[in-house]
Each structure stands twice: as structure tokens, then as C-alpha cells.
Amino acid sequence: MSDFLVYLITGLGTGCGIALIGSGLVLIHRVTRVVNFAQGTFAVVGALTAISLLDTGLPHGLAELLGVAVAAVVGLLFGVIAIGRRGTSPQAALVVTLGLGILAYAVEVMLWGDQGRSSEGLSGAVTVFGARIQTHYLLIIGVTMAVFAAMAALFGRTDAGKALSACSSNPYAARVVGISVTRMGLIAFAIGGALGGLAGVLLAPMNSVAFDSDVALIINGFAAAVVGSMHHIGRTLAGALFLGVAEAMVAGYGSATYQTVVALGLVLALMIGQAARTHSVVAEAG
């Protein structure tokens, strides 16, 4: 029972990190229709920046915050390059983000070397129902829930959030009412960068971060985003938590070798199910 609880909480913690990556992907895709393959890069940049800042003696909190800010700036920069030029198709922008992600490898290796690095998270552990749980996982879960609540408020209550939704609903009509779709896209990239950076700094104490850590992050994040049909942030969160818990369970009760395989197999089944459903709807409409 206590094992189960440990796996559950650690799974939820990992799932929250995945959710942050996935929701960044969804947010950028909603507004710009670009699948941003550099989303994992934001996490790596955020994490490595925070670790370096911690090494220089900056206190916890401030270093992480700056890491997130740097990731947001990188997100904005990638956005400018990918969609800044008018008339860039989402497909072209997708390839641009892929290229930028690879270019970022070179920069990251130059700046931080090619060895994995880790930071110190929240130390200590709490005992819940006889299960010892590292406090840092609870921090990850708490911060992520706060961020998702903030996003819900942004999209549900503010004009800026409505304008972002308007761009995703009908970019043409958005232009007609005077919403700059490109500017909204850049804002989406900046928020996506911040979300990625946050995932990075939160997960850095759990797994060491190297320049190529983005692959695992983007694969999981993308899987969660697909559960949300690249559109629904709430469903992305649910998908990410499911994925995180499933991986933790497989690693805990089975073997860690298979955790990604099993989790991604589940997502693949979900995708096929979704595609079949969409197809039947289209067939009926036709």
C-alpha cells in the first residue's frame, strides 16, 4: 500500500512536468497551429540556467525564477524566428522549430558541456500513510496546479485570454476585429517557453539534465498533448498525469526499462482510438 502511494505521488510529480511541457505545446499549437518541436529545449535551457545560477550562489527561488524567465525569452526568440515573418506556413515553422532545437544543442554544449547536471531540490521527506514521499514531488504538484489554475483564469476571464482563444478559433475573424495574430502567436511562444522552463527547473532535482534531455521530455509532452487533441489544456493535464502515473507504476512493479515503452504504447492506443472516432464522424458528415 505504501509502495503504491509512493509510486502514485512520484508518478503525479513526473506527470506534472509532462503536463507543463504538453500544455506549452498545446498553447502554441492552438494560437499558431505550429507543432513546436523545440518545446523540450525550453525546459533544458531553463533547468541549466537555474543550475548555473545556483552554482554562483544565488538563492533558491530566485535562480529558478530567472531560469524560467530566460526560457520565456528563448521561447519568444524562437517564435520570432519561426513565425515572425508574415505568411510562414505552420508546416514551415514546424521545421524551423526542429532546426532551432538542434542548433540549441550546439549552444548548450558550448555553454554547459555535454554532461548531465542536477540541482538540489526541496530537501526532506514527509510520511503520508506510512509512505515516505520526497517533499520536492509535492512542490512540483503544487506549483503545477497553481500554474494550471492561472491558465484557466487567463483563458476564462481576461480579454487577452479570449483574444488568444479567438486566434485559435478563427484567425481570419481575429484579424478582422483587429487582433494581431502574429503578436498573439509570439505571446503564445513566450508563455510556452516559460511553461517549458518551469518544467525544466522543477524536474532538474529529480533527473539530471543534459543538452539532449529534451527528447524524453518532448516525447512524453507530445503524447500528453495528443491526448488533448493538441487543443484542450485540461485534457492534456489529465493525459500527462495518467502517463506519469502509468510510467511510475510500470517502473515500480515491473522494470524501469519498459516504463516509456508501456506508457507510449498506451498513448498510441489512445491515438488510434481517437483517429478512428474522428474518421467515423467525418464519414457521417460526408
Partner 1 sequence: MFGDLTVDDNLRLGAWQLSGRGRSRRKQRDTSWVYELLPDLVRVRARKAGGLSGGQQQMVAVGRALMSRPEVLVIDELSLGLAPLIVADLAEHLTELNREQGTAVVLIEQNARLALDLCSRAYVLEAGRIAAEGDSAELAASPDIARAYLGEAQGLPSPPDAQDDPGPDDPGPDDPGPDDPGPDDPGPDDRGSADSGSHDRATADPAPTPGTAKTARGNQDTTVQSARAATREAK
The residues binding partner 1 (CB under 8 A) are 33, 159, 162-163, 165-166, 168-180, 285
What's the min distance (Å) between Cβ of 238 and partner 1?
19
What's the min distance (Å) between Cβ of 171 and partner 1?
6
Question: Cβ closer to partner 1: 150 or 160?
Answer: 160
Question: Cβ closer to partner 1: 132 or 183?
Answer: 183
What's the min distance (Å) between Cβ of 9 and partner 1?
35
Question: Cβ closer to partner 1: 164 or 206?
Answer: 164
What's the min distance (Å) between Cβ of 283 and partner 1?
15
How remote is the C-alpha of 133 from its chain's centroid? 24
Question: Cβ closer to partner 1: 30 or 136?
Answer: 30
What's the min distance (Å) between Cβ of 180 and partner 1?
7
Residue for grid cell 529534451: 214
Question: Cβ closer to partner 1: 117 or 162?
Answer: 162
Taking alpha carbons only, the member of 242, 283, 282 closest to residue 264 is: 242
What's the min distance (Å) between Cβ of 81 and partner 1?
22
Question: Cβ closer to partner 1: 163 or 203?
Answer: 163
Gap between the Cα atoms of 25 and 226, Å rounded: 10
What's the min distance (Å) between Cβ of 157 and partner 1?
11
Question: Cβ closer to partner 1: 6 or 164?
Answer: 164
Give DSSP secondary structure letters for the chain. Answer: -HHHHHHHHHHHHHHHHHHHHHHHHHHHHHHH----TTHHHHHHHHHHHHHHHHHTTPPTTHHHHHHHHHHHHHHHHHHHHHH-STT--HHHHHHHHHHHHHHHHHHHHHHH-SS-B-------EEEETTEEEEHHHHHHHHHHHHHHHHHHHHHHH-HHHHHHHHHHH-HHHHHHTT--HHHHHHHHHHHHHHHHHHHHHHHTTTS-B-GGGHHHHHHHHHHHHHHTTTT-HHHHHHHHHHHHHHHHHHHHHS-GGGHHHHHHHHHHHHHHHHHHHHHHHHHHH-
Gap between the Cα atoms of 95 and 83, Å rounded: 11
